[in-house]
């Protein structure tokens, strides 16, 4: 090695999404992304096991996770010296709990259960457990438990205990066969480090805090008494779960010889404790106090951090407020929309047209011109209503309404939904000074970003990286690998935003302010049971707005 040449060190970030897993090889010095590889899950429908009789069901085969790890890591290592890889980080979707046996093996790996969806990973977007979610919420309120204060006041059908309770109720054979349950985000680091036994697997405070009602304040998981009031079998299960969850600047262990050899890596390098994809995406987009990071994909996750020493109210409707879940040393705040890209994809399929064609048509339209307004609830509403039993709504159709008009309207609807989250945060004293977007849609759709800027009447920035979740994993790989002493130091060197910033157009913002008021009326009328008021003027006003937009 010559003078002036530095010794390169790498971290690998693994990002397990809904349809595929990505590995990203990153230079720990500056975050440069040197190689990436994507593995599409081979099982089910693009990785998701579905049930034609129940649209709420969504499961995954954990074997895809294992196969995807080796395929992608081996590929990104080509051309570099594996000795220079100093650490690994892992993020996944969640809450995606997996029933496991005593050794930590997924029940789906057992011949008895290999075709049983209940024995697989219960994917985040599985909504089969809505009745149990309601029951958990009601029980916590009834027993005066504090558990929901930090997750918006309502427990979700997407979360850990709802799914496990639903399994106990509807598939007792699987529930009985399961020694314990492990989050997808914990299972992968457990597998890589040989710490898969339920008592040994490192548990992510991000997963536990946001989805399993874990908090130091009440001694970890909810009490046996509470769980027993829901179902005695849950109280028993608690003993086979965990007492402590940790942030991702901690190692889950080190790479086993067997895994290292098969992957082409060095044995013994540290693997960071896992977390959810969006939280790592937020870190890699420069999350800091005052910055809202929106990770926009099939759904969105909206993340902020808040100093531990500043006051923070319980924000109704927020999915979670968890110490250390985004950045160690800060509260992590999580909100989100249950479907964004999924709605656009659905509609493109519905009308049999490409996103390019629909986007080109939508670009030609002015705000309000179509006379249309939609609610973005095709997959329920995560924040601020926390209600999976909501559906889409479109109003204002005429005999001339075109697909491009509806496409734009659906984008606007997701922008209004996003704005609801910002407003809710600010109402409760969390100032949103900056919005940084990341994810495929932020990268690829200036139309979406401009509408978001106009609707929220504030600039939209875009994260520099096109694969922020994987970069976030690599950042924590770099931290546990010793390149930095904490995540903020790593952020300072390894993250940034793009030069292009979408700034609001005042005329568009003025139209959207009016449309947002109508959206709010529909939102409150259709989204909250208590509301009572008149909707009679909504269409008239829409027609007026359309008329004015055309004059």
310, 389, 500, 507: which one binds a copy of itself (CB under 8 A): 389
Mark the segment that binds a copy of itself (CB under 8 A) among 85-93, 155-163, 278-286, 532-540: 532-540
Intra-chain end-to-end CA distance of the chain, in Å: 70
Instruction: By CB under 8 A, tell whether 538 contacts a copy of itself.
Output: yes
201, 339, 362, 447: which one binds a copy of itself (CB under 8 A): 339
Mark the segment that binds a copy of itself (CB under 8 A) among 157-165, 268-276, 282-290, 521-529: 521-529
> Across the chain, which distance is largest between two alpha carbons, in Å?
77
As measured in angstroms, the least distance from the Cβ of 527 to a copy of itself is 7
* Residue among 121, 252, 249, 270 at smallest CA distance from 183: 121
Mark the segment that binds a copy of itself (CB under 8 A) among 3-11, 26-34, 397-405, 476-484: 397-405
Mark the segment that binds a copy of itself (CB under 8 A) among 62-70, 74-82, 383-391, 480-488: 383-391
Of 1 and 399, which has the nearer Cβ to a copy of itself? 399
350, 366, 492, 548: which one binds a copy of itself (CB under 8 A): 350
Instruction: By CB under 8 A, tell whether 390 contacts a copy of itself.
Output: yes
Of 345 and 431, which has the nearer Cβ to a copy of itself? 345
Could you tell me if residue 109 is left (phi over 0), alpha (psi between -120 and 50 degrees) or otherwise beta?
alpha
- Cβ atoms of 332 and 320 closer than 8 Å: yes
Strand order, beta sheet including 49-51:
49-51, 54-60, 121-122
Cβ burial, residue 414 (10 Å; 0-12/13-18/19+): buried
- Cβ atoms of 501 and 459 closer than 8 Å: yes
20, 170, 401, 457: which one binds a copy of itself (CB under 8 A): 401
| Helices within 171-270 (DSSP H only) | 172-177, 184-193, 205-211, 224-230, 232-238, 257-263
Q: Residues in contact with a copy of itself, total (CB under 8 A)?
A: 47
- Cβ atoms of 250 and 202 closer than 8 Å: yes
141, 313, 507, 543: which one binds a copy of itself (CB under 8 A): 543
C-alpha torsion angle, residues 431, 323, 162, 139 (rounded to 10) = -80
What does each C-alpha distance from 311 to 153, 220, 314, 331, 361 come to in angstroms? 19, 22, 10, 11, 47
- 3-state class (DSSP) for residue 6: coil
Instruction: By CB under 8 A, tell whether 384 contacts a copy of itself.
Output: no
As measured in angstroms, the least distance from the Cβ of 3 to a copy of itself is 58
Of 7 and 551, which has the nearer Cβ to a copy of itself? 551
* Residue among 10, 61, 18 at smallest CA distance from 38: 18
Structure-token pair, residue 420: 């609801």
Instruction: By CB under 8 A, tell whether 360 contacts a copy of itself.
Output: no
Instruction: Kindly state the DSSP code that residue 327 receives in the 8-state scheme.
Output: S
170, 402, 457, 520: which one binds a copy of itself (CB under 8 A): 402
As measured in angstroms, the least distance from the Cβ of 60 to a copy of itself is 17
Structure-token pair, residue 486: 């904490």
As measured in angstroms, the least distance from the Cβ of 133 to a copy of itself is 14
Instruction: By CB under 8 A, tell whether 142 contacts a copy of itself.
Output: no
398, 485, 486, 503: which one binds a copy of itself (CB under 8 A): 398
97, 324, 396, 439: which one binds a copy of itself (CB under 8 A): 396
Instruction: By CB under 8 A, tell whether 364 contacts a copy of itself.
Output: no
What is d(CA 455, CA 452) in angstroms, rounded to the nearest whole number? 5
229, 312, 432, 539: which one binds a copy of itself (CB under 8 A): 539
Instruction: By CB under 8 A, tell whether 343 contacts a copy of itself.
Output: yes
60, 379, 437, 467: which one binds a copy of itself (CB under 8 A): 379
Q: What are phi and psi of 323, to 5 degrees?
A: -60, 125
Burial 3-16 (b: 16+ CB within 10 A, else e): eeeeeebbbbbbbb
Mark the segment that binds a copy of itself (CB under 8 A) among 9-17, 91-99, 205-213, 393-401: 393-401
Catalog residues that contact a copy of itself under the rule CB under 8 A.
Answer: 53, 55, 339, 342-343, 346, 350-353, 371, 378-379, 389-403, 525-540, 542-543, 550
């Amino acid at each position: 090695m010559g003078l002036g040449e530095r010794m390169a060190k790498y971290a690998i970030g693994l990002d397990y999404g809904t349809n595929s897993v990505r590995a990203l090889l990153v230079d720990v010095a500056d975050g440069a992304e040197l190689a990436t590889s994507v593995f599409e899950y081979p099982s089910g429908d693009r990785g998701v096991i579905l049930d034609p009789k129940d649209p709420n069901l969504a499961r995954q085969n954990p074997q895809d996770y294992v196969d995807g790890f080796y395929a992608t890591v081996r590929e990104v290592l080509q051309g570099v010296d594996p000795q220079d890889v100093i650490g690994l980080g892992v993020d996944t979707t969640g809450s995606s709990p997996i029933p496991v046996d005593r050794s930590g093996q997924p029940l789906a790996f057992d011949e008895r259960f290999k075709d049983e969806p209940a024995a697989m990973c219960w994917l985040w977007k599985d909504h089969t457990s809505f009745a149990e979610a309601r029951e958990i919420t009601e029980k916590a309120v009834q027993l005066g438990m504090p558990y929901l204060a930090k997750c918006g006041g309502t427990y979700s059908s997407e979360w850990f205990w709802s799914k496990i309770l639903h399994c106990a109720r509807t598939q007792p054979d699987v529930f009985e066969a399961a020694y314990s349950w492990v989050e997808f985000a914990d299972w992968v680091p457990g597998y890589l480090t040989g710490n898969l036994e339920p008592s040994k697997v490192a548990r992510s405070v991000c997963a536990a805090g946001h989805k399993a009602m874990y908090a130091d304040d009440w001694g970890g998981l909810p009490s046996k008494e509470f769980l027993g009031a829901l179902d005695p079998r849950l109280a028993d299960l608690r003993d086979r779960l965990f007492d402590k969850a940790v942030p991702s600047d901690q190692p889950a262990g080190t790479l086993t010889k067997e895994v290292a050899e098969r992957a082409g890596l060095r044995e013994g390098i540290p693997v960071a404790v896992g977390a959810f994809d969006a939280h790592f995406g937020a870190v890699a987009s420069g999350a800091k106090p005052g910055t809202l990071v929106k990770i926009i994909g099939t759904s969105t996750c909206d993340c902020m951090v808040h100093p531990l020493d500043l006051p923070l109210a319980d924000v109704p409707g927020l999915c979670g407020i968890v110490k250390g879940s985004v950045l160690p040393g800060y509260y992590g705040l999580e909100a989100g929309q249950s479907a964004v890209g999924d709605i656009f994809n659905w509609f493109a399929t519905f009308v049999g047209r490409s996103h390019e064609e629909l986007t080109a048509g939508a670009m030609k339209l002015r705000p309000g011109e179509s006379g249309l307004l939609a609610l973005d609830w095709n997959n329920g509403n995560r924040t601020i209503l926390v209600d999976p039993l909501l559906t889409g709504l479109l109003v204002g159709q005429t005999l001339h309404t075109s697909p491009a008009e509806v496409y734009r309207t659906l984008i606007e609807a997701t922008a209004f939904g996003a704005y609801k989250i910002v407003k809710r945060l600010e109402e409760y004293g969390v100032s949103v000074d900056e919005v940084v977007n990341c994810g495929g849609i932020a990268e690829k759709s200036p139309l979406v970003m401009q509408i978001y800027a106009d609707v929220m009447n504030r600039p939209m920035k875009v994260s520099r990286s096109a694969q922020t979740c994987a970069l976030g994993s690599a950042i924590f790989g770099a931290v546990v690998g010793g390149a930095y002493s904490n995540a903020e130091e790593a952020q300072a060197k390894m993250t940034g935003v793009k030069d292009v910033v979408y700034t609001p157009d005042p005329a568009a913002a003025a139209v959207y302010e009016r449309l947002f008021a109508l959206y709010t009326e529909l939102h409150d009328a259709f989204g909250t049971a208590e509301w009572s008021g008149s909707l009679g003027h909504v269409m008239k006003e829409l027609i007026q707005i359309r008329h004015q937009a055309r004059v």
